[in-house]
Amino acid sequence: MLTYVVRRLLIAIPTLWGVVTGAFIISRLLPGDPARIMAGLNATQQQVDRLRHQLGLDKPLWVQYQDYMGQLLHGNLGFSPHFSAPVAAQIAQRLPYTAELAVLATAIAVVVGVTIGVLAALRRNTLLDLILSAFAVFGVSMPVYWLGLMLILIFAIDLRALPAAGADSPQSVILPAVTLALFSIGLIARMTRASMLEVLGQDYVRTARAKGAPHRRVVLKHALRNAVLPILTAIGLQFGGLLGGAVLTESVFGWPGVGQLLVNSIFYRDYPMVQGLVLLFGVTYVVINLLVDLMYAYVDPRIRFD
């Protein structure tokens, strides 16, 4: 197992190098002058030039790349010119918010999505299946922007029950987490339903029923456990996506996470911050994928990594 983990982590290094290099190149290909954006329209050209020099943006591109990679190898994500602060410090301030949001949204999505998927599979082609499947499609199809505002309208303005925006009270996370979860609920529910339908038709499920196992045990122990592998993959990918992809939700709810940070960094052409965040998302995906693979072995004892 340990050898497997080490091997996977080693394989991740060239992947992450590719991610960082890609982010470096793409951010430089974007039109726009970071020094001008940072200095503002009212700044003189002399001030803009001085700023460009201070930021090292007047150096040849390959020198900038060399400097950046050198920093990275020393564990330094660089310095954000927009925030005039270390990239790592800014990310460290914002990441807990996004992590909180992503974990809660995933928890909601897993509980609700798997429940809906299992129920829909068990009541296949009934009205309940139709309603649950329609709800799942609704979740996947609704634009986050619209859905978020509707939830704000109902729960913050009409019912005055929850905060509309910000992160200053424990209840603040509820609306953004539900908004974010709805998309994943749809996907997880559909995946669970399909996977359960496949498993429910298997011989071992019929055998379990034939030997008189209770319905609950058949569903949860025999069917769901075997159906869970593709669902786990979906959950893993969703979680990774939530960490990086909460951009719109964070904007709608004024949630101070890394999604908003990324959008602002792109608008301000804050290259080191964009690169740092892309690297963070790359690392997140690598780690989540690895964890999902390791969980396979836990869920399905037949899978061994040695």
Partner 1 sequence: MRQRLLTVIALAGVLVAACGQSTSTPSPSSSKQGGTLTVAIGVAPDTLDPMRQTTTTIQNIVQMAVETLVQVNKQGQLEPLLATSWSHSSDGTTWTFTLRKGVKFSDGEPFNAQAVVTSIDRALDPTNVCPLCGQMPKFVQSVTATDSDHVQFTLNQPVATNFFLGNLSGVQFGILAPNTIQKGTPAYKDDEHPVGTGPYILQEYVSGDHVTMVRNPNYWGKKPAYKEQIIKIVPTAATREALLRADQAQVILDPPTADLPSLESDPNLKVLLAPDDRTIFISLDTVSTSQPLLQKVEVRQALNYAVNKAAIVKGTLYGAAVPMTAPMAPSLFGYCKMPDQYNYDPAKAKQLLQAAGAEGMTLKLISPTGRYIQDFQAAENVASYLRQVGINVEGPTTMDWPTYISTINVPPDKATTDAGLLGWAPGFLDASQQMVIFDGPLQPPKGLNTAYYNNPTVNNLISEAATQLNTTKRAAEYCQAEKIIWNDAPWIFLWVQKFPIAYSAKVTGVSYVPNESFNTIYAAPA
Query: According to the binding rule CB under 8 A, does residue 295 interact with partner 1?
Result: no
Long-range contacts of 82-86, Cβ-Cβ distance < 8 Å, separation of 24 or more:
82/38, 82/264, 82/265, 82/268, 82/270, 82/273, 83/270, 83/273
| Ramachandran quadrant class, 133 (left: phi over 0; alpha: psi -120 to 50; beta: rest) | alpha
Give the one residue of 14, 31, 75, 301 binding partner 1; rule: CB under 8 A.
Answer: 31
Piece of 64-72, 118-126, 186-194, 263-271 that binds partner 1 (CB under 8 A): 263-271
Piece of 27-35, 118-126, 129-137, 230-238 that binds partner 1 (CB under 8 A): 27-35
Q: Which is nearer to partner 1, 155 or 285 (CB)?
A: 155
Give the one residue of 257, 272, 276, 282 binding partner 1; rule: CB under 8 A.
Answer: 257
Q: Where are the alpha helices (DSSP H) in the chain?
A: 2-29, 34-39, 45-54, 61-73, 87-122, 127-141, 144-151, 174-200, 203-210, 215-217, 225-245, 247-252, 258-267, 271-299
Give the one residue of 95, 167, 224, 280 binding partner 1; rule: CB under 8 A.
Answer: 167
Nearest CA among 164, 162, 155, 165 for reference residue 260:
165
Give the one residue of 2, 14, 42, 203 binding partner 1; rule: CB under 8 A.
Answer: 42
- Rg of the chain over Cα atoms, rounded to whole angstroms, equals 24
| Residues counted in the chain | 306
Q: Which is nearer to partner 1, 43 or 237 (CB)?
A: 43
How many Cβ atoms sit within 10 Å of the Cβ of residue 267?
A: 11
Query: According to the binding rule CB under 8 A, does residue 276 interact with partner 1?
Result: no
Q: Which is nearer to partner 1, 117 or 244 (CB)?
A: 244
Please report, as residue ranges, which positions from 145 to 164 form the binding site for partner 1 (by CB under 8 A): 148-149, 152-153, 156-157, 160, 163-164
Query: According to the binding rule CB under 8 A, does residue 99 interact with partner 1?
Result: no
Extract the tokens encoding 71.
Answer: 């920093």
Chain residues in the site for partner 1 (CB under 8 A): 30-34, 36-45, 47, 50-51, 54, 82-85, 90, 93-94, 148-149, 152-153, 156-157, 160, 163-168, 251-254, 256-257, 260-261, 264, 267-269
